[in-house]
Amino acid sequence: MVNTANPDIVYTKVDEAPELASASLLPILQRFAAAAGVSIGTKDISLAGRILATFPDHLKEDLRVSDDLAELGALVKTAAANVIKLPNISASVPQLVAAIEELQSQGFALPDYHETPSSDAEKEIRARYDTLKGSAVNPVLREGNSDRRAATAVKKFAQANPHRMGDWSADSKTRVASMSGNDFFSNERSATLKEEATAKIVLVTASGETVLKDAVSYPAGTVVDATFMSGSSLGAFLAEEIEKTKAEGVLFSLHLKATMMKVSDPIIFGHAVKAWLAPVFEKFGDRMADLGVNPNQGMGTLLEKVEGDAEIMAAIDAVTAQRPPMYMVNSDKGITNLHVPSDVIIDASMPALIRAGGKGWGPSGEEADTVCVIPDNSYAPIYDEAIAFFKANGKMNPATVGTVQNLGLMAQKAEEYGSHPTTFEIAEAGTVKMVLQDGSVLHETAVEAGDIWRSASTRKAPIEDWVNLAIERQKTTGFRAIFWLDENRAHDAELIAYVKPILEAKGVADKFEIMKPADATRASLETITKGENTIAVSGNVLRDYLTDLFPILELATSAKMLSIVKLMQGGGLFETGAGGSAPKHVQQLEAENHLRWDSLGEFCALGESFKFLAETKNNARAKILGDAVEDATQGILDNGHSPSRKVGEPDNRDSHYWFARYWADALAAQTDDAGLAEEFAPIAAALAENEAKIIAELAAAQGKAADTGGYFHADPAKRDAVMRPSATLNAIIG
């Protein structure tokens, strides 16, 4: 009997292309799982769902929704958790505002987002909305560390069908530009707390003391960091790089992560917009402020605000003509690198540029060498070293290259990704102090107005769990294993003080190397170029960056990775890959009714989820389902049934038909459970016999505009009509 009240597997409802794909795939998964007595339910962690859950007091009772993210947050702290997590929107301000406006147009009486709140009520509303920005979901759900690697079937396919790599030349002008100092890296201070502590963060100035954060609690053993980026140094660096880029005759680009680093990186992005349009801000700054311009929101919003002012628009055109050409998000539509903070995400944009031979797309629609501006030096060296490696050695061969697996420290809001509540733009020169409950000062930093100050922390239990996971993975694989830690970085030095004693106590110190990120990058590239494999044992941000960088080089995409989060209380969280290209996929669906999203990541996560369920619930049929999922995934790859990029060719919905067919074939053919074979034999036969009819029905849906009833909050009936256009397939699946 299937339990629908407390499902065995929770499948997350998210946003954009992954959510559209779910409308097609989830009915298949639920039908097949039911045969093993396994229920698959859903929890809504989409941006729209989170907005609605945050404002029940503004909604009519029949429009209120449950706080599914909070419920999942409680679930992942239990051994019963078995969650398949699809990529969700980590919202920038423009995305948040657009989602609010869409929901308001659908009849939800949500309050407006106030960019500059003037009353206590508006400040309270703004504070509630701000909890939804950036990485609001992952820190809640990631109660474990990350084990991410290429699935065996995916890696074999990539080697047998190598993707195209751009050619590198030794004289390429592409380079990484970072600050020479006064950034987060150079200013970092770190300490490990011997006892449980509470810290108050204050700004002491000539005019008095301001409490930035009243109380932050840390358990014993927590590594606590404090650092800042100088606003004036950042501005000078950006201005200099714009001029250097122009002199070099290449594209200018900025690479940040304004989605995950939702406080600091939009501010840095705003500095870049101001640097690019410096003469305009100098002359018209006050007028632009009166028009509601906030450079942190990007050039796109800025241009909308000032488009009615001919004098400002003329000044912008004049400055743009004097600037170097810019890296483009969409050259056909004139969308630049500086248009929207969330459009260029470093962990997706930098690997794509490296894979393309160091080329970015310019305003003319042509590829060109590019200056990649990554202001902070904490992680910029990995891209700098990768570019130097390919300049010296030429492009990689995906047919022969090995693989880089990753074990990432991310549990319990580890490192910078948990710093949002303790990141501040300094309003007045002074000293920021972290004062412990006994009055002692943990960290003390002199700052200037406009500096970006932040504190991050990493707890003892996740660190120890991370090291032990690395030991297990290295023992299982025998691969070269490297901790990506820089003893000259304050935070990393504190982690090394944890890592070395554990390795020594377990007698495995000789199995691991500890290298700073630049050296680890080169060592990993050298290793996999020889066809060998390595394990990157890294912190949270590097986990995020590396599990795009190496998969994009090895597989052409990071969306097909096997991503397992071993929850610290014994449950399992199975992630399905990256969603950075999801907006473009939705745009194509809306225009042409073609969805090129590849659900391979979902297939990989599903197989692992079933196997985990088999172990934890002693469900032999779940194990058979999981094994059959792997057969189906291999069938998709071997027979070329992944989605095509072009309208009129097979898309995501076609791949789901083939997945169901291969899955049914495998279940009908297996001999471990006669009952399952008997149940799926007629389904397999029906899917095969009706192949031509189903494919024709799916093909007939393409080539015209598709209406799902909303971008952020689709109408379920309209969405399902778009995503399940084959009546024949629907009848077989049910």
How many angstroms separate the Cα of 124 from the Cα of each of 117, 119, 410, 524? Answer: 9, 9, 30, 48
Beta-bridge mates of residue 228: 453
Q: How far apart are CA 195 and CA 441, in angstroms?
A: 14
Beta-bridge mates of residue 706: none
Q: For the beta carbon of residue 208, count every other beta carbon within 10 angstroms.
A: 9
Q: How far apart are CA 653 and CA 593, in angstroms?
A: 11
Q: How far apart are CA 51 and CA 47, in angstroms?
A: 6
Range 293-314 burial, b when 16+ CB lie within 10 A, else e: bbbbbbbbbbeebbeeeeebee
Does an H or E element contain 82, and which? strand 82-85
- Cite the beta strand spans of 88-188 per DSSP E: 144-150, 175-177
Q: Are 135 and 259 in contact (CB under 8 A)?
A: yes
Q: Which residues have C-beta within 8 Å of that of residue 252, sequence separation ≥ 6? A: 241, 242, 245, 246, 323, 324, 325, 326, 327, 337, 370, 371, 373
Q: For the beta carbon of residue 140, count every other beta carbon within 10 angstroms.
A: 16
Does residue 195 sit in helix, strand or coil? coil
- Which residues of the chain are under the pLDDT cut of 70? 1-5, 577-582
Q: How far apart are CA 453 and CA 297, in angstroms?
A: 20
Q: What is the pLDDT of residue 116?
A: 86
Does residue 316 sit in helix, strand or coil? helix
Q: What is the pLDDT of residue 579?
A: 56
pLDDT, tens only, 474-500: 999 999 999 999 999 999 999 999 999
* Chain centroid, CA 462 distance in Å: 20
Q: What is the pLDDT of residue 260?
A: 84
Single pTM value for the model: 0.84
Q: What is the pLDDT of residue 217?
A: 96
Residue in this structure with the two tokens 């402020």, named with its chain if needed: 289
Q: How many CA atoms lie within 13 A of 62 on its CB side?
A: 1
Q: Are 424 and 453 in contact (CB under 8 A)?
A: yes
Quote the DSSP letter at residue 422.
G
Start-end of H helices in 142-277: 152-160, 184-187, 231-248, 264-276
Q: What is the pLDDT of residue 582?
A: 67
Start-end of H helices in 581-651: 582-592, 600-617, 620-638
Q: Are 301 and 96 in contact (CB under 8 A)?
A: no
Q: How far apart are CA 391 and CA 394, in angstroms?
A: 6
Q: How far apart are CA 176 and CA 172, in angstroms?
A: 12
